[in-house]
Amino acid sequence: LKKKAKGYAKLARPVQQAAVVGAGIMGGGIAYTSAVRGTIVLMKDIAQPALDLGLAEADKLLAKQMEAGRMKAEKAKQVRASIRAQLNFAGFDEADLVVEAIVENLAIKKKVLAEVETLVKPEAIIASNTSSLSIAEMATALQRPQNFVGMHFFNPVPQMPLVEVIRGPATDPVAAATTAGHALAMGKTPILVQDCPGFLVNRIFIPYCLAFLRLVHDGADYQHVDRVMEAFGWPMGPAYLADVVGMDTLVHVLHVIAAGYGARMRPSFPLAVELLVDHKRLGQKSGAGFYRHE
Protein backbone atom coordinates (compact mmCIF):
# COMPACT_ATOMS: atom_id res chain seq x y z
CA LEU A 1 0.00 0.00 0.00
CA LYS A 2 2.82 2.36 0.92
CA LYS A 3 4.53 1.76 -2.43
CA LYS A 4 1.30 2.59 -4.26
CA ALA A 5 0.86 5.72 -2.11
CA LYS A 6 4.39 6.85 -2.91
CA GLY A 7 3.39 6.56 -6.57
CA TYR A 8 0.43 8.91 -6.40
CA ALA A 9 2.12 11.18 -3.87
CA LYS A 10 4.63 12.10 -6.61
CA LEU A 11 2.36 15.07 -7.43
CA ALA A 12 2.51 16.23 -3.78
CA ARG A 13 3.59 19.71 -2.80
CA PRO A 14 5.76 19.93 0.33
CA VAL A 15 4.03 20.61 3.66
CA GLN A 16 6.40 22.63 5.81
CA GLN A 17 3.81 24.03 8.12
CA ALA A 18 0.56 22.35 9.08
CA ALA A 19 -2.36 23.48 11.20
CA VAL A 20 -5.01 21.53 13.04
CA VAL A 21 -8.39 22.96 14.05
CA GLY A 22 -9.79 21.13 17.09
CA ALA A 23 -7.43 19.86 19.81
CA GLY A 24 -9.53 16.88 20.93
CA ILE A 25 -8.67 13.17 20.81
CA MET A 26 -8.03 13.29 17.07
CA GLY A 27 -6.69 16.84 16.60
CA GLY A 28 -4.24 16.40 19.48
CA GLY A 29 -3.04 13.09 18.04
CA ILE A 30 -2.66 14.54 14.54
CA ALA A 31 -0.70 17.54 15.86
CA TYR A 32 1.61 15.31 17.93
CA THR A 33 2.27 12.84 15.11
CA SER A 34 3.03 15.63 12.60
CA ALA A 35 5.35 17.36 15.09
CA VAL A 36 7.26 14.16 15.88
CA ARG A 37 8.06 13.87 12.17
CA GLY A 38 9.42 17.42 12.03
CA THR A 39 6.50 19.60 10.94
CA ILE A 40 5.61 22.80 12.77
CA VAL A 41 1.95 22.53 13.77
CA LEU A 42 -0.46 25.24 14.81
CA MET A 43 -3.15 23.65 16.97
CA LYS A 44 -6.27 25.79 17.32
CA ASP A 45 -9.28 25.21 19.56
CA ILE A 46 -12.07 27.32 21.01
CA ALA A 47 -11.47 26.11 24.56
CA GLN A 48 -8.29 26.46 26.65
CA PRO A 49 -8.97 23.21 28.57
CA ALA A 50 -9.02 21.34 25.24
CA LEU A 51 -5.63 22.85 24.29
CA ASP A 52 -4.25 21.96 27.74
CA LEU A 53 -5.48 18.37 27.37
CA GLY A 54 -3.98 18.12 23.87
CA LEU A 55 -0.60 19.33 25.14
CA ALA A 56 -0.76 17.10 28.22
CA GLU A 57 -1.37 14.11 25.93
CA ALA A 58 1.65 15.13 23.81
CA ASP A 59 3.77 15.38 26.99
CA LYS A 60 2.63 11.92 28.06
CA LEU A 61 3.47 10.39 24.68
CA LEU A 62 6.88 12.11 24.58
CA ALA A 63 7.67 10.92 28.12
CA LYS A 64 6.83 7.35 27.05
CA GLN A 65 9.17 7.64 24.05
CA MET A 66 12.00 8.88 26.29
CA GLU A 67 11.39 6.17 28.92
CA ALA A 68 11.56 3.53 26.21
CA GLY A 69 14.84 5.06 25.00
CA ARG A 70 13.34 5.86 21.59
CA MET A 71 13.79 9.63 21.93
CA LYS A 72 16.37 11.94 23.47
CA ALA A 73 15.29 14.78 25.80
CA GLU A 74 16.59 17.33 23.29
CA LYS A 75 14.37 15.99 20.50
CA ALA A 76 11.34 15.77 22.83
CA LYS A 77 11.83 19.42 23.73
CA GLN A 78 12.04 20.32 20.06
CA VAL A 79 8.85 18.36 19.22
CA ARG A 80 6.95 19.99 22.07
CA ALA A 81 8.06 23.46 20.96
CA SER A 82 6.86 22.81 17.42
CA ILE A 83 3.25 22.34 18.59
CA ARG A 84 1.85 25.85 18.92
CA ALA A 85 -1.40 25.68 20.85
CA GLN A 86 -3.61 28.71 20.34
CA LEU A 87 -7.15 30.04 20.66
CA ASN A 88 -6.90 32.15 17.49
CA PHE A 89 -5.94 31.64 13.86
CA ALA A 90 -2.54 33.41 14.07
CA GLY A 91 -0.11 32.05 11.49
CA PHE A 92 -2.75 30.20 9.44
CA ASP A 93 -1.72 32.30 6.43
CA GLU A 94 1.59 30.37 6.48
CA ALA A 95 0.04 26.88 6.62
CA ASP A 96 0.38 24.55 3.62
CA LEU A 97 -2.20 22.11 5.01
CA VAL A 98 -5.00 22.65 7.54
CA VAL A 99 -6.65 19.58 9.04
CA GLU A 100 -10.07 20.20 10.55
CA ALA A 101 -10.87 17.88 13.49
CA ILE A 102 -13.74 19.58 15.31
CA VAL A 103 -17.13 18.12 16.30
CA GLU A 104 -18.88 15.85 13.80
CA ASN A 105 -21.60 18.34 12.88
CA LEU A 106 -22.10 19.36 9.25
CA ALA A 107 -23.34 22.90 9.87
CA ILE A 108 -20.53 23.73 12.33
CA LYS A 109 -17.89 22.15 10.11
CA LYS A 110 -19.10 24.12 7.06
CA LYS A 111 -18.96 27.39 9.01
CA VAL A 112 -15.44 26.73 10.35
CA LEU A 113 -14.11 25.48 6.98
CA ALA A 114 -15.44 28.60 5.23
CA GLU A 115 -13.74 30.80 7.84
CA VAL A 116 -10.45 28.92 7.54
CA GLU A 117 -10.56 29.33 3.75
CA THR A 118 -10.60 33.13 4.09
CA LEU A 119 -7.44 32.99 6.25
CA VAL A 120 -5.15 30.61 4.37
CA LYS A 121 -3.10 31.21 1.23
CA PRO A 122 -4.97 30.37 -2.01
CA GLU A 123 -3.00 27.18 -2.70
CA ALA A 124 -3.28 25.80 0.85
CA ILE A 125 -5.00 22.44 1.20
CA ILE A 126 -7.90 22.16 3.65
CA ALA A 127 -8.63 18.64 4.86
CA SER A 128 -11.39 17.30 7.07
CA ASN A 129 -10.92 14.38 9.45
CA THR A 130 -14.66 13.63 9.31
CA SER A 131 -15.51 10.00 9.87
CA SER A 132 -18.93 10.09 8.28
CA LEU A 133 -19.87 13.32 6.52
CA SER A 134 -19.87 13.80 2.76
CA ILE A 135 -16.82 15.61 1.38
CA ALA A 136 -18.94 16.84 -1.56
CA GLU A 137 -21.48 18.35 0.83
CA MET A 138 -18.84 20.05 2.99
CA ALA A 139 -17.14 21.43 -0.12
CA THR A 140 -20.28 23.43 -0.97
CA ALA A 141 -19.27 25.85 1.82
CA LEU A 142 -15.99 26.65 0.05
CA GLN A 143 -14.89 28.99 -2.74
CA ARG A 144 -12.02 26.65 -3.70
CA PRO A 145 -13.46 23.11 -3.43
CA GLN A 146 -10.55 21.87 -5.56
CA ASN A 147 -8.28 22.37 -2.52
CA PHE A 148 -10.55 20.44 -0.18
CA VAL A 149 -10.10 16.77 0.69
CA GLY A 150 -10.95 14.21 3.37
CA MET A 151 -8.09 13.03 5.58
CA HIS A 152 -9.51 10.32 7.83
CA PHE A 153 -7.21 9.20 10.64
CA PHE A 154 -8.02 6.42 13.09
CA ASN A 155 -7.93 6.50 16.87
CA PRO A 156 -5.39 6.49 18.54
CA VAL A 157 -3.62 8.50 15.84
CA PRO A 158 0.00 7.91 16.97
CA GLN A 159 -0.55 4.13 16.77
CA MET A 160 -2.90 3.57 13.85
CA PRO A 161 -1.04 3.42 10.52
CA LEU A 162 -3.91 3.89 8.05
CA VAL A 163 -5.20 7.22 6.71
CA GLU A 164 -8.07 7.36 4.23
CA VAL A 165 -7.63 10.21 1.73
CA ILE A 166 -11.06 11.02 0.32
CA ARG A 167 -11.52 12.77 -2.99
CA GLY A 168 -14.68 14.79 -3.43
CA PRO A 169 -16.01 15.43 -6.97
CA ALA A 170 -14.07 18.72 -7.17
CA THR A 171 -10.86 17.66 -5.39
CA ASP A 172 -7.73 18.42 -7.42
CA PRO A 173 -5.35 15.42 -7.75
CA VAL A 174 -2.57 17.67 -6.37
CA ALA A 175 -4.62 18.29 -3.19
CA ALA A 176 -5.16 14.53 -2.72
CA ALA A 177 -1.48 13.84 -3.48
CA THR A 178 -0.28 16.54 -1.04
CA THR A 179 -2.52 15.10 1.67
CA ALA A 180 -1.25 11.58 0.97
CA GLY A 181 2.33 12.93 0.91
CA HIS A 182 1.88 14.49 4.33
CA ALA A 183 0.38 11.26 5.68
CA LEU A 184 3.48 9.43 4.39
CA ALA A 185 5.71 12.06 6.02
CA MET A 186 3.84 11.37 9.29
CA GLY A 187 4.82 7.71 8.93
CA LYS A 188 1.30 6.67 7.94
CA THR A 189 -0.06 4.54 5.11
CA PRO A 190 -2.52 6.62 3.06
CA ILE A 191 -5.09 5.04 0.75
CA LEU A 192 -7.22 6.90 -1.79
CA VAL A 193 -10.93 6.21 -1.37
CA GLN A 194 -14.25 7.35 -2.81
CA ASP A 195 -16.55 9.85 -1.12
CA CYS A 196 -19.25 7.42 0.06
CA PRO A 197 -20.85 6.65 3.46
CA GLY A 198 -18.26 4.90 5.64
CA PHE A 199 -15.50 5.42 3.03
CA LEU A 200 -13.70 2.04 3.02
CA VAL A 201 -12.76 0.92 6.51
CA ASN A 202 -16.14 1.58 8.14
CA ARG A 203 -17.87 -0.37 5.36
CA ILE A 204 -15.96 -3.39 6.64
CA PHE A 205 -15.83 -2.50 10.33
CA ILE A 206 -19.54 -1.73 10.81
CA PRO A 207 -20.87 -5.06 9.42
CA TYR A 208 -18.39 -6.77 11.78
CA CYS A 209 -19.76 -4.74 14.72
CA LEU A 210 -23.31 -5.57 13.67
CA ALA A 211 -22.49 -9.28 13.59
CA PHE A 212 -21.08 -8.94 17.11
CA LEU A 213 -24.11 -6.99 18.36
CA ARG A 214 -26.44 -9.61 16.86
CA LEU A 215 -24.57 -12.29 18.84
CA VAL A 216 -24.95 -10.25 22.04
CA HIS A 217 -28.65 -9.73 21.28
CA ASP A 218 -29.01 -13.50 20.83
CA GLY A 219 -27.49 -14.03 24.29
CA ALA A 220 -23.75 -14.37 23.72
CA ASP A 221 -21.42 -13.18 26.49
CA TYR A 222 -19.40 -10.26 25.07
CA GLN A 223 -16.32 -11.15 27.14
CA HIS A 224 -16.41 -14.67 25.73
CA VAL A 225 -16.65 -13.28 22.17
CA ASP A 226 -13.63 -11.03 22.87
CA ARG A 227 -11.57 -13.98 24.16
CA VAL A 228 -12.55 -16.00 21.07
CA MET A 229 -11.47 -13.24 18.67
CA GLU A 230 -8.19 -12.77 20.58
CA ALA A 231 -7.56 -16.54 20.34
CA PHE A 232 -8.38 -16.25 16.64
CA GLY A 233 -5.41 -13.86 16.50
CA TRP A 234 -6.92 -10.39 16.46
CA PRO A 235 -5.29 -7.88 18.82
CA MET A 236 -8.59 -7.24 20.61
CA GLY A 237 -12.19 -8.40 20.40
CA PRO A 238 -15.18 -6.31 19.23
CA ALA A 239 -16.40 -5.26 22.70
CA TYR A 240 -13.00 -3.93 23.74
CA LEU A 241 -12.61 -2.27 20.35
CA ALA A 242 -15.98 -0.54 20.82
CA ASP A 243 -14.65 0.82 24.13
CA VAL A 244 -11.56 2.19 22.37
CA VAL A 245 -13.53 3.78 19.51
CA GLY A 246 -16.12 5.30 21.85
CA MET A 247 -19.75 4.15 22.05
CA ASP A 248 -21.21 7.48 20.85
CA THR A 249 -18.89 7.57 17.83
CA LEU A 250 -19.74 3.96 17.02
CA VAL A 251 -23.51 4.55 17.26
CA HIS A 252 -23.17 7.60 15.03
CA VAL A 253 -21.29 5.66 12.34
CA LEU A 254 -23.77 2.75 12.60
CA HIS A 255 -26.54 5.22 11.75
CA VAL A 256 -24.58 6.75 8.87
CA ILE A 257 -24.01 3.32 7.33
CA ALA A 258 -27.67 2.31 7.87
CA ALA A 259 -28.83 5.53 6.18
CA GLY A 260 -26.31 5.12 3.34
CA TYR A 261 -26.91 1.46 2.48
CA GLY A 262 -30.49 0.78 3.57
CA ALA A 263 -31.96 -2.54 4.62
CA ARG A 264 -28.82 -4.65 4.24
CA MET A 265 -27.00 -2.54 6.85
CA ARG A 266 -29.95 -1.56 9.05
CA PRO A 267 -30.17 -3.56 12.30
CA SER A 268 -33.64 -4.85 13.16
CA PHE A 269 -32.87 -5.46 16.84
CA PRO A 270 -32.01 -3.23 19.83
CA LEU A 271 -28.31 -2.41 19.98
CA ALA A 272 -26.37 -2.96 23.21
CA VAL A 273 -24.17 -0.01 22.25
CA GLU A 274 -27.18 2.35 22.26
CA LEU A 275 -28.08 1.16 25.74
CA LEU A 276 -24.51 1.88 26.87
CA VAL A 277 -24.72 5.41 25.42
CA ASP A 278 -28.01 5.95 27.33
CA HIS A 279 -26.12 5.01 30.50
CA LYS A 280 -23.22 7.35 29.58
CA ARG A 281 -20.88 4.36 29.33
CA LEU A 282 -18.97 5.71 26.34
CA GLY A 283 -15.92 3.45 26.66
CA GLN A 284 -12.36 4.31 27.62
CA LYS A 285 -12.96 8.06 27.42
CA SER A 286 -15.70 7.99 30.10
CA GLY A 287 -14.06 5.35 32.29
CA ALA A 288 -16.47 2.56 31.38
CA GLY A 289 -18.14 0.96 28.37
CA PHE A 290 -18.46 -2.80 27.99
CA TYR A 291 -15.52 -2.86 30.44
CA ARG A 292 -14.40 -0.62 33.30
CA HIS A 293 -11.28 1.45 32.59
CA GLU A 294 -9.22 2.78 35.48
Q: Which residues bind ligand NAD (CB under 6 A)?
A: 21-27, 44-47, 50, 101-104, 112, 129-131, 153-155, 245-246, 249
**Residue 217: active-site member:** no
Distance CA 61, CA 33 (A): 10
29, 178, 46, 15: which is closest to 115 by C-alpha? 46
In angstroms, how far is the first alpha carbon of the chain from the final one? 37
Q: Which is nearer to ligand NAD, 71 or 126 (CB)?
A: 126
**Smallest distance from ligand NAD to CB 136, Å:** 16
187, 164, 152: which is closest to 34 by C-alpha? 187
**Smallest distance from ligand NAD to CB 144, Å:** 20
**Smallest distance from ligand NAD to CB 245, Å:** 5
161, 112, 116, 119: which is closest to 133 by C-alpha? 112
**Smallest distance from ligand NAD to CB 183, Å:** 14
Distance CA 232, CA 229 (A): 5
Q: Which is nearer to ligand NAD, 132 or 147 (CB)?
A: 132
Q: Which is nearer to ligand NAD, 22 or 197 (CB)?
A: 22
Sign of CA dihedral 81, 86, 90, 92: positive
Q: CB–CB of 19/42 below 8 Å?
A: yes
Distance CA 154, CA 190 (A): 11
Q: Which is nearer to ligand NAD, 76 or 248 (CB)?
A: 248
Q: Which is nearer to ligand NAD, 26 or 210 (CB)?
A: 26
Cβ burial 260-294 (10 Å sphere, 16+ → b, else e): bbeeebeeeeebbbbebbeeebbbbbbebbbeeee
Phi/psi at 192 (nearest 5 deg)?
A: -90, 130
Query: In sequence order, what are the beta bridge partners of 127?
Result: 99, 149
**Smallest distance from ligand NAD to CB 190, Å:** 14
Q: Which is nearer to ligand NAD, 130 or 171 (CB)?
A: 130
**Smallest distance from ligand NAD to CB 285, Å:** 8
Q: CB–CB of 61/32 below 8 Å?
A: yes
Determine the residue with CB nearest ligand NAD: 24
Distance of CA 88 to the CA centre of its chain: 22
Q: CB–CB of 149/127 below 8 Å?
A: yes
Length of the chain: 294
The catalytically annotated residue of 152, 182, 224, 293 is 152
Catalytic residues, which ones? 152
